[in-house]
């Protein structure tokens, strides 16, 4: 039934997989993720002027901030997949797949889904602030999934903390051994350039106006560097020697097993250090390595085609009110028009509408390789976590839903829009914008929306009104904790005060409690009732 070409050109498949680098940037809001993303694309020469991808409030036009609400708030809520070719300064060509993640903690479930689709992550840290809460949470997700991390200390052009102090903080607070690849010449706020610790060269930066173009770099030999940077060079050399004495030199093995992290110093806004980051991604970040299936067996990248959906998103802009399922290719070659199998239903899946999505710009995607992201338009049957395959069956593990902490009853405010209301709620549920819970007691007209963060409710309300013409009113419910239970337990729990039991769309029974103390009480008084934890945000 399939027409996949996987297997027919094994050398090509292996070479194409080997040059993919699929990663995401994790950071606390304001560390400079959008600025860095623009700078990376600019340096790879995919765009000629910074500012065309992420338009924050007050910046240039927007490509990925697709929703009015995002524009108003100046935050990026949705994920975008960017792909661009890059040739390293040594002449090696690779393909970068940069998966964008929402910065706000309320969307950590969305970020988690994206992190299931990457092979490495860039942990972006503000030089003045060090490790911040959202960075720490996302780091824990990466550690849990064993995703190797490249650390970037950004905003070095501004006064900030001492570089050695930041290294200590990384080592002590998250237990990763920092192994700097570059070391700053000049303290934060007085940035002269970096010492490339692998070559010993001084890379001097020259300022460009507003960071609108790629910054020119000058490579100066060590013996001329003192003359160029004076005492700052000597200090950088001394500190670098201290690091070597402490065994803080790059080690590929510990990087890949997530116990050490190479470190770079940048100023994304001034385009400093961005070339180094691209080169490090190309040379050191791991290429796709297949994926583990539900039984823990690895399907190699060179096996027949397989992919899993990590995100479903609709209404990306007013010109395309459709729905895209983003699938990460794990193995094999994808050719548009291939007929795949949808593992959860066993049904054939036609891929005529495959697209690549670059910010808001879309183009038809004809071929994709392991590590790439395929945007499948109008894929109504696909949900996050679904597997698609060709030739040889495989099922990848489901992506766990997070434990909701906010609950609200949704009611349509316009009774004539009943149909649109149902359709909208179903769509938001399938995309994973919110979880939708139902119970006999509350009836189908008033589903309960459950979220990790309250901003998910804002997105749901906004989209119900703007996209489905079915405005809703949300009535908050006084619950803050959820646990999975079984049908026998549900019967007992339903009779208790400050506890309610709902059925989630995937069939799971969720018992919700007003507080964690109420939950502990109930668990103590009903020892035979099984109450299992869901994945918590930041686990
Ligand atoms: P985010 O996506 O992580 O939330 O951060 P974003 O890139 O929006 O950057 C947050 C602020 O930090 C922006 O300033 C941005 O210009 C600034 N910034 C990012 N990288 C650097 C850097 O390397 N050096 C310096 N000095 N600033 C940096 P803003 O005032 O909020 O916006 P804008 O008016 O400058 O665009």
pLDDT tens digits, 477-520: 999 999 999 999 999 999 999 899 999 988 899 999 999 999 99
Span 68-83, average pLDDT: 52
pLDDT at 295: 95
**How far apart are the C-alpha atoms of 266 and 430, rounded to whole Å?**
39
List phi, psi (to 5°) of 222: -55, -40
Contact 29 CB / ligand 1 (< 6 Å): yes
Q: What are phi and psi of 37, to 5 degrees?
A: -60, -45
Q: In this predicted structure, what is the pLDDT of residue 239?
A: 97
Domain 406-525 in the same topology as domain 13-78+86-98+119-284: no
Domain 13-78+86-98+119-284, CATH 3.40.50.300 — does that match? yes
Per the DSSP assignment, residues forming a β-bridge with 220 are 202
> Among 354, 394, 349, 348, which Cα is nearest to 374's?
354
**Cα–ligand 1 centroid distance for 45 (angstroms):** 21
Q: 118 versus 311: which is more confidently predicted?
A: 118
Structure token pair of residue 62 = 């927007």
The number of beta carbons lying within 10 Å of the beta carbon of residue 431 is 20
What's the number of CA atoms in the CB half-sphere (13 Å) around residue 302? 10
Residue 79 has pLDDT above 80, yes or no: no
Boundaries of every domain in the chain: 13-78+86-98+119-284, 291-389, 406-525
Ligand 1, closest atom to CA 266? 23
Question: Are 404 and 450 within 8 A, CB to CB?
Answer: yes
What is the rounded CA–CA span in Å between residue 432 and residue 105?
16
- Residue 214, pLDDT > 80, answer no
Give the span between the Cα atoms of 510 and 494, in whole angstroms.
11
Correct CATH for 291-389 of 3.40.50.920, 2.60.120.260, 1.10.10.10, 3.40.50.300: 3.40.50.300
- C-beta of 103 in contact with ligand 1 (< 6 A): yes
Helix and strand tally (H, E) in the chain? 14, 30
The CA distance from 391 to 262, in Å, is: 39
The closest of 462, 464, 468, 500 to 481, measured between CA atoms, is 500
At residue 472, the pLDDT reads 96
- Taking residues 216-222, report their average pLDDT: 86
> Is the CB of residue 362 below 6 angstroms from any atom belonging to ligand 1?
no
Q: Quick count: other Cβ atoms within 10 Å of Cβ 46?
A: 17
Asked if residue 57 has pLDDT above 70, the reply is no
The pTM (predicted TM-score) of the whole model is: 0.84
Pick the CATH number of 406-525 from 3.40.30.10, 3.30.70.3280, 3.30.70.1400, 3.30.70.20: 3.30.70.3280
Least confident residue range of 313-317, 446-450, 498-502: 313-317
- What pLDDT is stored for residue 356 in this prediction? 63
* Pairwise CA distance, residues 272 & 12, whole Å: 35
Would the CB of 27 count as within 6 Å of ligand 1?
yes
Residue 218 has pLDDT above 80, yes or no: yes
Reading the block at residue 509, the tokens are: 């029974």
Least confident interval from 69-78, 263-272, 273-282: 69-78
What's the pLDDT score for residue 17?
Answer: 96
**Share of residues in the chain with pLDDT > 70 (%):** 85
* Cα-based angle 390, 395, 398 (whole degrees, multiple of 5): 135
Distances (CA, A) of 343 to 124, 238, 389, 393: 36, 57, 7, 7
């Amino acid at each position: 039934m399939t027409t996949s070409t996987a297997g027919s050109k094994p050398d090509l498949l292996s070479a194409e997989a080997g040059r993919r680098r699929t990663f995401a940037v994790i950071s606390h809001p304001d560390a400079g993720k959008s600025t860095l993303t623009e700078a990376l694309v600019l340096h790879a020469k995919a765009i000629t002027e910074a500012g065309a991808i992420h338009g924050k409030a007050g910046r240039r036009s927007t490509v990925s901030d697709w929703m009015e609400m995002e524009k108003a708030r100046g935050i990026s809520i949705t994920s975008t997949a960017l792909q661009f070719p890059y040739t390293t300064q040594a002449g090696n060509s690779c393909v970068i797949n940069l998966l964008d993640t929402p910065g706000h903690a309320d969307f950590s479930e969305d970020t988690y889904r994206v992190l299931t689709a990457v092979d490495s992550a860039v942990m972006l840290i503000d030089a003045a602030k060090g490790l911040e809460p959202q960075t720490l949470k996302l780091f824990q997700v990466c550690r849990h999934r064993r995703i190797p991390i490249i650390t970037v200390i950004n905003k070095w052009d501004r006064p900030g903390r001492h570089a050695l102090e930041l290294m200590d903080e990384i080592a002590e607070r998250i237990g990763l051994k920092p192994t700097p690849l570059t070391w700053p010449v000049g303290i934060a706020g007085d940035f002269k350039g970096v010492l490339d610790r692998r070559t010993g060269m001084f890379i001097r930066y020259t300022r460009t106006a507003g960071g609108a173009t790629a910054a020119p770099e000058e490579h100066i030999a060590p013996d001329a560097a003192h003359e160029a940077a004076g005492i700052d060079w000597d200090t950088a050399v001394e500190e670098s020697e201290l690091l070597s004495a402490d065994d803080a030199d790059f080690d590929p093995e510990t990087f890949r097993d997530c116990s050490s992290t190479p470190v770079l110093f940048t100023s994304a806004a001034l385009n400093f250090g961005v070339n180094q980051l691209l080169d490090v991604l190309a040379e050191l970040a791991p290429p796709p390595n297949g994926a583990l299936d539900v039984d823990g067996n690895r399907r190699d990248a060179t096996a027949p085609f397989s992919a899993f959906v990590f995100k479903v998103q609709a209404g990306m802009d007013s010109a395309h009110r459709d729905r895209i399922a983003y699938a990460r290719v794990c193995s094999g070659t994808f050719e548009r028009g291939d007929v795949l199998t949808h593992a959860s239903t066993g049904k054939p899946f036609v891929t005529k509408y495959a697209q690549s999505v670059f910010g808001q710009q879309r183009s038809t995607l004809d071929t994709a390789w392991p590590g790439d992201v395929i945007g499948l338009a109008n894929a109504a049957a696909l949900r996050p976590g679904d597997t698609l395959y060709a030739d040889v069956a495989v099922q990848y593990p489901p992506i766990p839903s997070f434990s909701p902490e906010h609950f609200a009853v949704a009611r349509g405010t316009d009774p004539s829009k009943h149909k649109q209301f149902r359709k909208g709620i179903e769509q938001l549920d399938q995309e994973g914008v919110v979880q939708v819970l139902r119970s006999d007691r509350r009836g189908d007209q008033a589903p309960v929306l459950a979220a990790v963060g309250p901003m998910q409710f804002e997105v749901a309300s906004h989209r119900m009104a703007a996209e489905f013409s079915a405005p809703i009113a949300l009535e908050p419910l006084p619950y803050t904790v959820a646990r999975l239970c079984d049908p026998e337990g549900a019967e007992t729990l339903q009779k208790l005060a400050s506890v309610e039991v709902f059925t989630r769309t995937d069939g799971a029974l969720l018992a919700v409690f007003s507080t964690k103390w109420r939950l502990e009480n109930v668990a103590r008084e009903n020892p035979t009732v099984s109450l299992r934890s869901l994945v918590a945000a930041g686990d």
